[in-house]
Structure formats: structure tokens, C-alpha cells
Chain A
């Protein structure tokens, strides 16, 4: 799918650059705490669990479930209402905000805990967003 123009554009910082490089290359990159092995998000070069700088970047599976959402009914530049603003829970544990594509934007179609998969969606040459869609074969 293509995005409508006008959507707020994220600007990577040195601490998040790898994440945005990842989505551009079709990879969902998370980080893992070297002390506990737990994954975390959003990106930072140390662990929010123990403070260790011993962390590693790894590629997530892209599988997630729908944790919660709202369906916004008012106009916003870059979006056609009604549209869902969702939070998904990744298989690896962290949650992230996203939109759900290839799916009706209704409470009937958007069922909590439904399985989802990542749908990388290009915004421009540098930025690709990690959106999600209902998992195939689910």
C-alpha cells in the first residue's frame, strides 16, 4: 500500500538510526539486554532493565498480536478517517504503536489478540514504517 501525503515524518537520531535503517531494508530490529536477555523498545544503547550498555540488536520475527487501539473519526493530515491507531505486542515482548492495514477499520474486524504480521510501508526514500496486517493463514 502507499501512504497518503501529510503523515508526520519521524526523524531518526543517533540512538534510533539502526531501527530506521532496518525498516528501510525490510527488517524489524529490536534490542536485547545483555544481562537479562529481555527484548526492549523503543531503541536506546543501554538496557532499561539493568542499565547495562551490553546490548545487542537482533531481527524480530515480525509476528505480533493486537493489544489495544482506538478508531479515530476526525480528519488528520495524512489519514482518512475512520482509521485505527493501534498498539501491537510483538512475539518478542515489546509493544509498539502502529496502524493496521489490509483490514476494515471497525471494531468487528479489529479483534483484540488477533495475530498480525509486519507490513513494511515506504514513506519516502529514507523512511519506511512498520505497519501491521492480519497474519496470513491465521
Chain B
């Protein structure tokens, strides 16, 4: 900084005394608003020159009309959207009112709207020197780091000052900010152009009215540029000359519309806002009187405390008193005449928030917003001309030849927005109207070609009287369609925030809406939300939806965003992708085929960006520790990504066939084939070892495995299976060709000998009754071309078709008697089927098959299971229970014995393992460690040998070894609340929870409650000791609202320190994450022991949302996948 600067003191002094009389303002400034009438009264000017574009001149009488109630806003069309909200604390409005009432002329002196000057660029920015002048001013005052300079220097000390002092302070701040910008050489070109215009208007006016007293009311920043003496202006070297001849003033659409307090708050995302309008209004009302201001502060404190109380947290008069005390003392310490906004906010936070950001902190923040922002709405004076959204929308519709008030009839539109610019405008207009919640047009579904999304759109539009009415409502949020749609969507975003934060779904919907409406600013804000919200709360399917949307934006196939590339999209995609990979850990316990498909979809997107290591590790864990389904899928995915050798996978998969657990084989094969199916069809040799093993295993073993293997292959569509069979057959033939090296005649004789030998063996009962060639085995496994099977083998196929005959997907059903499965005829009834199964596969397999049929929805199969013989397993129970909801009471009664038997067996088993973990009692015991109260008796006994006789005959014990008592805790009266998520399907976790609850209810020291929740909560405590009726009563399905469940659990808490709340859920919260965290915090804060079970079953693997769970951990709820025994141990530890 080698340049010379005007001496600040002198410069400000010159500004204050300059002619014309300068009032430097900020658009919202209670301090100035309070003093402006006094300033103007003292001066009695003939004209008021004000920083507004000239096109607004016609509105000024209405703006200053005594019956117009602020807040209101002036708006115009153009780029950037001109928007000027006015409130009671806007100095401009106060001045305009003053002038209108006294008939003083008002001259708008800013650059006209639509002038090219608005688009002017600034000089190239040089290296920043910091802000020496502002820093110096700021240093003179104290305050928080983030505090606005204006607030510190103008607003806070204003109370009790003379109007002239306030004016001087405002001009000084403006000068300092200008000096800093000039020092950096970054005065914006548009500002310089506007100042040139203002100078020109002032000069012009003075030439016409020589004697007139003028007051110039402009932004404090501009004030130094407007006086003749250029030495005062720190940015003088940048001054541009006024244009020789004034450019023509364009006719633009302007409007005066009512506005509202919540929209004025700068946090609402609207332009030119201010923090906490209600408080600012109070300041104006106090008119600079410190006593009234203090009273207002006290009122605010009391109201906030009341709102916090309503939020369920203690905050009484004691706290309010402390807030007021702190506010006043802070103001005094800082040398202020009266507390300002900053002091109140600081005191409220310090006293009420108790250092928590969640839970109580959130409630306090909401209370403060509610009280400090206020809820007033503006009103226009009667007779104000109609303006705003209505006229502008009607004009737009006419221009685009869409149904409008003059031609209201219904029109069907087929738009091709990506090719025709007119269609694009129409499309964006229709989307915006829809976003404004005006019922004008309906979008019809358009089917895309193949898997791709549709590129054309189809609308039905009509103008009805409703449209006109709804337009009026939407007009509050903007005066053009673009403003109004952006306003509506932003308000939506604001509401989400107020409700505790947007959910992932809301963020994605919002992004899509913003993009379709062509609102790039909002879209990029939503994109910020995407980065913020998606990685932390979204589930895997949501993340995949998000990735789809982002790639549409990247490719530019969203009509609204054509020509508006969004910056930084690539990095967003990367973040979301990384987040999706992080979710992979949470799939470990999944038994849902959709999750395996999601995993595949994710990996298909995966391009080696940075996250490779992470995915590798996650997949390794999945393949090693996941549920059978995920193991299979992960193993195949690893091969797809080249992380594992293909050959290894085949070998490993072949080994799975040796497992003697049919359910597990089915699940693993399903997972494997979902991922590797296409490879297999194409004739890839990845799975050769598996295929070979199937062909070569002993026939009896093959038949035993057949149901399981067929179940595994059932995930492929019929057409895929048919293609696979063709491929396999081709392969088999190839091999035969290769194998033939002997004389065909000889081969024929060998075959004859073989057949003869087999015949002999069969007669003696030494060979099984069927002989299956490899191709036949494949026909059985795939359920295809079964008519070609030998008669004996066909029976197997038919028996299994009964279970797997209901095909889905490509090639299923249809009129054509094509290659679909289910070729065989059925059985007369389930009894025959069941007998056939026993005959073919044996009793154990029969039971598995029937259970599988039951879970597929076949009640008769469930009824065919014999309770006495059934092996008690949770899988069987879940299959049967999943049927119960849809059955008439009579059928349920017939199922009851089976369920009762299984439940009783399981409960008995569990009780045996759990009981030892739960019994224990503690009582105070003596210890040498000082920690509790001293045990006098024991101390004296332990130190008898140190007793001394004193000179006066008394005995003195010298306690060399003092003995203390440990603290004891009573073990009675503990309350356990099991909160079970039943929003999904009937899951093993639900069954285990019920059984565990039953066992816990048998422990005398515990009171056990069980609540089942989806979006509603059902208290099942009454039947908790009877898991049978409990399970039969649970109604699964619906959305997930863990927060609601926790709120219900909180009602049951009487002694927080003796209560445990165990949440069994997949943590895929349907609502916003904020309230959930708040509920957890509330419980944790109260001292309740909270535990999250991502899954409660014997495997300890779970399927859950990793992101939500990790946030819950942060809020104080540990989350883990537990077995019932581990849960019981945890309960025992808490009690002890």
C-alpha cells in the first residue's frame, strides 16, 4: 500500500458536512430508521433523492401510503432479478413515508432496470491486502468474530445517541468498507456505473432547481462517491464518467407486492434479508430508548423460555432472569448503552443451550427463531393497482400459445424439449407452474425405449378459475413465474429445514424439481444439500437414484438445465458414489434379492475413482461374514471387478454344494447368479467348476441338493434359464465331440453293456431307480425342457415345479406355450404333493420345500407341516407368520399349533442360555480402597492393635488401615423397553425380539415392555410374556419412523436412570434425521441407557443403513448387530 489515503477522520467529517445532505444507509437498519424522521424534520428538504431504479417511481405513492402495512416488496423483471423488500426498519421506507405524507418530491436516482450497466464487470481482482480500515473500526468495538461490522458500529451503540451521531457512524462504516475495497482494487464495475448515474441525476436535478434543498439517501458504501470533492472518495481513481446522454429507460414490468416476516429473515434464502426481523422491529419501536430496549430484551427472553418449555425442556423464570442479567451485563461490559441483537443471542445460547448442539440445543434454536423472526404479513393499501405474478403469467402463456384466460380450453401437448427451443420453454413453464402448486397442467407418463428414460413429455393443460385464484397465492413469493416457482421451492426447502432437516428423498425430489424448472441457483443449492445430506443419511437405493439423476444432469437430458451447466457436478457424483460404497457394509445381513441387485448396480457404475481400496475391503468383509445371499453376490462382484481370480470363484462355488444346509445353498447361489447370471448365459467359463460339480456329483447327493439348487437358479428369468440351458447343452455336446476317439461300434457295445449291467443291478435293488445324464440334470436344475426328461426324472421336475412354477420376468407366462417353466401338471392337492416330496427327497427336504412354499404365500403348504415333526427354526416361523396377517381367523387357528410348538421350543432354548447372564446381585462389601463411606466398625476392629492410652485416660485408635464400604446399587425396578421395527417384512429380528422379550419378562427384577412401531406404535406389553399371541398380533408393513417409536418409549420412562431402551431396527428412517437424533439425545440426556440393535439374531450380521447408524452413535446410542445372548448380557451389565 504505497498510495496515499485520505485521513479517515477528515474524510468522514467532510462527508458529514457535504452538500447535498447525505444519509448513508443499509437496506435494513433499525437504528437509522428510528432517526430518519428526526433528521428530515430538522432539514425540511424540498426533494428526496433515493437509491431506487426510476421505473419504480409510480409505485412510491402507494409504498408510502399510510394504509400500506409493511413488510411489502418492490420487484421488477430482468437479470439479475431486482427485488427490494421493505419493512418498518428499512430507512428508505421510513423516508418515503415521510416524503409522501408531506408531499415532498421523491426522485429515484439509481440505474434504470434493464440498463446494460447492471451487467458491468469489475476490474481484475488484485491480491487482497485484508481489510485494514474495517479491521481498525472493528477493533474499536468488541463482539463476536462473525459479527457484521455495521451491527457493531452503527446498530449496537445507537441507543441513546443523537440522530446526527448515528448518521455519522453510518457514513464512517460506508467509507471504511469502500476504502478497503479500493485498496484491493475490487470495486465492482456495476457499482461504479451506478454511482456515475447517481451523480448525473443529482447534477441534473440541481441544475433544474437551483435553490432546492436536497437530501440524498443512498447506501453508505456509495455515499463518498456522490460528493463533488473527489478527495474524499477512496475509490476516486476508479470513478467512471457519467454517460454523455442518458440511455433510454426501458419499459419493464414492475410490481408492488405484500411480503412477510419469515421471508425477510436472511436465513430464509431470500435476497436482501436481515437476521431476526421481529427484534429489528422492536428496536425501531423503542426508538433508541435504552430503557424500552431492555424491556424488549426481557420480553424476548421470557418468550423464548416459554417456547423452550413447550418443546419439553425445563426453562423457567430463573433462566429468563439469568438471560436478562447476562444480556445487560454483557452490554455494560462492552460499553453499549443498551443490549443489541448479538448480546441477546449470546445470552440465550449460553444460559439455555447447555452446550448441546442436538437435543436441547435444537429446541432452543427453534424457539429463538420462532420468537425473534416473528410472523407479521404485509398488506397493500386499498386501491393499489394490480400487479405481480397474475399479469406476467397470463402474458407468458399467451406468448407460448398455451391455454390462457382468453383461450382456456383443454389442450393436449406432446413436447420434445431437447430438440425444439419453443418446446423447451413450454416444458420449463409447465414445470414451473406445477412447482408453484397451481393446478394448470397434468403430466402423463411417457414410456422410454428400452431401459432409457423418456426424452419427450406429454401434458394436458387447461386454464380454469382455480388457476387464477392459486396464482394470487403464489404471487406472494414472486412477481414472475420464475421468482414464484423458485420462491415456492425454496420455501419447501425451508420447511424441510424447520422440520429437522431434509431427508434424502426430499433433497433428491427438490433437486429434480429445481432442475426441471430451470432454476440453476436453486439447483446448485440443492446440490449442496445433496453433498450434505445424501452421504450421511441416504440408503443405498436412494443413493443409486441420486446417481441416476446426477448422470442425467451431467448428460444434459433435463430440459430445464440445457444450456446451464452445473459446476462441480463431477465432484458431487464422486462424493455420492463414495457414500454408496460406504453403505455396502450395511448390506451384510441382507436376505433381500433387491439388495444384491443394488450391489450389482453400484458396481457397474464403479469406475476406478479413488474408492477402490475401500470397496475391496467392504466386499471382502461381505464375502466372508455376510448373509449367504450377500456372500454369493459379493464373491461374484469381486470377480467382476477383477479383485479375485475367476477360477477361484468357480472352485469356491463348487464347494458350496457340499454344504448340508439347503437354505444356505439356495441363498448363496441366488446371490451369485444375480451378479454372474449374464456371464453364464454368454457361455463364460467363470463357473465351470460349479457346473462340473453339478454334473459329476453322485446321483443321490444331486437329488438331495436339487430343490436347493433349483431355488438358487430360480432368480434367473425363464428366458435367461432357457438361454443358459442352450449354452450348457452346446457345451455338453462339445465335450462329447472331443471325447470320441474310439471306434463308434465299440462305443455302442460299451453302452449296451452298461445298460445291461444297470438293469441287473436294478433288479437286485443295488442301483437307484433313475439315471440322470448331465443334460437331464440341467433340465431339472433350470426347470426347462422337462418334457425331454426320462419319465422317472420327470416326477422330480414336476414336484419342484409346484414350488417354483410361478415364473416372473422376461419370458414368463404369456399365451405362447413357449419355453416357460411349469411345464408339468400340478397335483390334486397339497397332501399328494407332500407325499410325493417325502417319497422323492425324504422328510427333511420335504419340510424345507413346504416352508419355502409357505413363505411364497401358500397357506396349504404351511398347514401340511406336521407340528410334532417340525424342526423348530426361526426361518420356518417367519415363513408361517408372514402368512398370518392375510388369513381368516379360522385358518390362523389351524396354524396355531405349529407356531405354538416352534415358539415354545425356541423360547425354552433361549431361556436356558439367557438366564445365567441375568442373575446377579450385588451388595456393599468392605474394601481398603477409599471410595465410599467409612466402615467404622470394621475400621476399629482392624486397628485394635494400634490402640493407645492417652494421658487423660481416653483410648485413641490410630487407623492405620481404614476400611470403607463400596457403593451398592439396588438391582430391582429396572425397566426394559424393547422397541421393534416392524415396517419391513416379518423378519428373524422380530421373532427373536419377541422371544427375548418373553424370556426377559420372566426375570423378576425387570419390567419388560415391548413396542412395535412402523409409522404408528403399538404397545404389546400386555402380551409380552406370551410370545405366541404377541407374534400373531404383530402387524407388519408401513413406513419407518423411529423418532415416533422413541417418543412413545419416552412416555414409558419413569425413572430414567433405571430404564433401558433397546431399538431393533434397520435404521432406514423414513423421516428427517434431525428429530430422530433429537429423540435419542433426549433419552440419553435424561440418563436412559439406550442401545440400537441393527439386527437381533443368532448370526450377528445385519442389514442396516450405515450412515444413519453412525449418526446415532454420535448422538449417544451405540449400534451393533447382536445375538439374543449378547443382548441379555448387556442388560445384565446395566443392572449390575
- A, B bound: no
